[in-house]
Amino acid sequence: MNAVSVGDSVVVYGPWGCGTCHACSQGRENYCPRAARLGIMPPGLGRPGALAEYLLVDSERHVVPIGDLDPVKTVPLTDAGLTPYHAIKRSMSKLEPGSVAVVIGAGGLGHVGIQLLRLMSAATVVALDIREESRELALRSGAHHALPSDSKAVGLVRELTDGAGADVVFDFVGAQVTLDLAAQMAGLDSHINIIGIGGGSLPVSFDSLPYGTRVSTSYWGTRSELIELVELAKQGAIDVHVERYELEEGPEVYKRMEAGKIQGRAVLVPAQRS
């Protein structure tokens, strides 16, 4: 029996692995050590992706049925939801009641990350973003505080934590300026998660960061985590802020994204065929 039938709405799991190695057998295809060697490329990252009327998927295991959920509101979960969900799960041991989590960048991924942090933990959530509209989106998404990500942010986070600094910093930007902020506001025995691919670097040595700081990168998410996210969406627990466009508007949407004018996630929708 197939898990999906013709006509079903599905979302596509993106980070394809070989499907048979130890990591893949745990659903951790995002960390498949054989994918590069076998030339496996995710859709949209080296092979044709979803900016088309049809998307070829190599295996049934790479689709997750979404039932009656609105495909436009649900499709961003495959990245904008899965990436923060995976990063947060890796830091759950630090997200205890009374802890402080800082989210740098309240854009497509960050605003979902804030919702997930509120859903999955009792941590105080502080959002940092240079854009005022994104700070407003952060507050609507459940952040307790939303601050401009400038030089004053470090002092404000220290103030909020009685000098201790953040327990977990999620950097959804990853630029030099935001990684510097992350390093300056991290507390003792904290986690710094580098998620954004902004090209910055964070020097790590014994005394370059507070003692016990764990710095890690985090790539996309696992297959089982996407299934869990779809379950959360079915429960109405996640509300992705979506701007909807026609497929033909794609080039213009990319320009708007580059100019920082997209709120949340832009979704391009192909014309419906009758």
Binding residues for Zn ion (CB under 5 A): 17-18, 21, 24, 32, 34
Of 17 and 105, nearer to Zn ion (C-beta) is: 17
Find the shortest distance in angstroms from Cβ 219 to Zn ion. 14
Nearest approach, Cβ of 23 to Zn ion (angstroms)? 5
Nearest approach, Cβ of residue 38 and Zn ion (Å): 8
Give me the least distance between CB of 35 and Zn ion, in Å please: 6
- The residue among 59 and 201 lying less far from Zn ion, judged by its C-beta, is 59
User: SS3 letters for the chain?
Assistant: CCCCCCCCCEEECCCCCCCCCHHHHCCCHHHCCCCCCCCCCCECCCECCCCCCCCCCCCHHHEEECCCCCHHHHHHHHCCCHHHHHHHHHCHHHCCCCCEEEEECCCHHHHHHHHHHHHHCCCEEEEECCCHHHHHHHHHCCCCEEECCCCHHHHHHHHHCCCCCEEEEEECCCCHHHHHHHHHHEEEEEEEEECCCCCCCCCCCCCCCCCCCEEEECCCCCHHHHHHHHHHHHCCCCCCCEEEEEHHHHHHHHHHHHCCCCCCEEEEECCCCC
Cβ-based nearer residue to Zn ion, 31 or 254: 31
In the bound complex, what is the minimum distance in angstroms from residue 67's beta carbon to Zn ion? 28
Toward Zn ion, which CB reaches closer, 23 or 182? Answer: 23
Closer residue to Zn ion in complex, CB, 63/101 = 63
| Least CB distance to Zn ion at residue 195 (A) | 22
Q: By C-beta, is 21 or 232 nearer to Zn ion?
A: 21
